[in-house]
Amino acid sequence: MTFFSVNGLECRHGLLAAVRGVSLAMNEGEILALVGANGAGKTTLMRGIAGAHKPHAGNIVFDGKDVTGLPAHKRVALGIALVPEGRRLFTGMTVEENLRVAGAHGRKGKWNLEAVLEAFPQLKPKLKAKAGDLSGGQQQATAIGRALMTNPRLLLLDEVSLGLSPLAVDQVYESLHGLMSGGTTIILVEQDLSRALAVAHRIACMLEGAIVLEGAAASLSRDAITDAYFGLHRAGAKA
Ligand code: ATP
């Protein structure tokens, strides 16, 4: 049964149509990787789903409820959480404060400070450190932990690898592993195609605001995805 869907979504930046007629449907527990070149519209789509960017047309249905008109904080309360590109932590606050503030605004559930620290043990010695003083990997762990504190049912991860060392990326994905196998529905924007193919059940490729290729990760060849990425796909291709 469809748990989450986006139907004919359009998002604009002024006159620019950054997301054009995007439709997606996901079952609970599915992991969808959103890939595409810089400027393809991935971040705008994620922000539209999270309520951080008001759509121009189309709708978003989450667990049977049309959430298109709801502000971001109400979507968080329902269980939609975004880990934004660039992390956007409260850099002057401590790690613990960043986590606790989020916890106060989310749903009740299994995720609390202890559970987040178990998933991201690298944060334990940093709880009292200012978020702005952390390494990139630690900041990313805090940003994901902050989203988890709201007990999301749909987690939106926008380029969690961006700007991190390969070691820090491995560490973040290792921590995400339990979450990914634990039934949380996830959409992740990931530039590393190998990683996207390794963790996602489904792949959707965006080009100039539209989804140009979508299908089960196991059914899509790397070449087909790369072609779609660069706009070399056959028109209307769907796996
Ligand atoms: P990236 O990987 O670089 O983040 P993306 O696929 O996430 O790219 P978006 O950031 O959603 O793409 O951008 C989609 C289009 O919207 C691009 O043409 C971009 O220049 C434009 N855009 C994004 N944010 C704004 C903004 N705040 N104001 C105006 N145009 C914007």
Q: What pLDDT is recorded for position 234? A: 55
Pocket test for ligand 1, best of 9, 15, 42, 208 (most atoms within 8 A of CB): 42
Cα–Cα distance for residue pair 21/23, rounded to 1 Å: 6
Please tell me the total count of domains within the chain: 1
Q: Which atom of ligand 1 is nearest to the CA of 158?
A: 7
pLDDT tens column, 33-44: 999 999 999 999
Q: What pLDDT is recorded for position 176? A: 81
Name 186's bridge partners: 31, 155
Q: What pLDDT is recorded for position 189? A: 96
Cα–Cα distance for residue pair 79/88, rounded to 1 Å: 19
Q: What pLDDT is recorded for position 233? A: 63
Q: What is the amino acid identity at position 172?
A: V
Name the CA dihedral angle for 73, 66, 52, 129, rounded to a multiple of 10 degrees: 40
Helix pair angle (166-180, 136-148), 10° resolution: 20
CA 235 to ligand 1 centroid distance, Å: 23
Is residue 42 lining ligand 1, measured as CB closer than 6 Å?
yes
Give the range of the structural domain holding residue 38, as residue numbers without chain letter. 4-238
Closest-CA residue, ligand 1 atom 30, reads: 13
Question: In what order do the strands lie in the sheet containing 80-83?
Answer: 80-83, 154-158, 185-189, 31-36, 202-207, 210-216
Tens place of pLDDT per residue across the chain (239 aa) = 799 999 999 999 998 999 999 999 999 999 999 999 999 999 999 999 999 999 999 999 999 999 999 999 999 999 999 998 877 887 788 999 999 887 777 788 888 999 899 888 889 999 998 988 998 888 988 999 999 999 999 999 999 888 778 887 888 888 788 777 778 899 999 988 888 888 899 999 999 999 999 999 999 988 889 888 888 865 445 44
CA 97 to ligand 1 centroid distance, Å: 30
pTM of the model: 0.92
Closest-CA residue, ligand 1 atom 2, reads: 38
CATH number of the CATH domain containing 141: 3.40.50.300
CA 10 to ligand 1 centroid distance, Å: 14
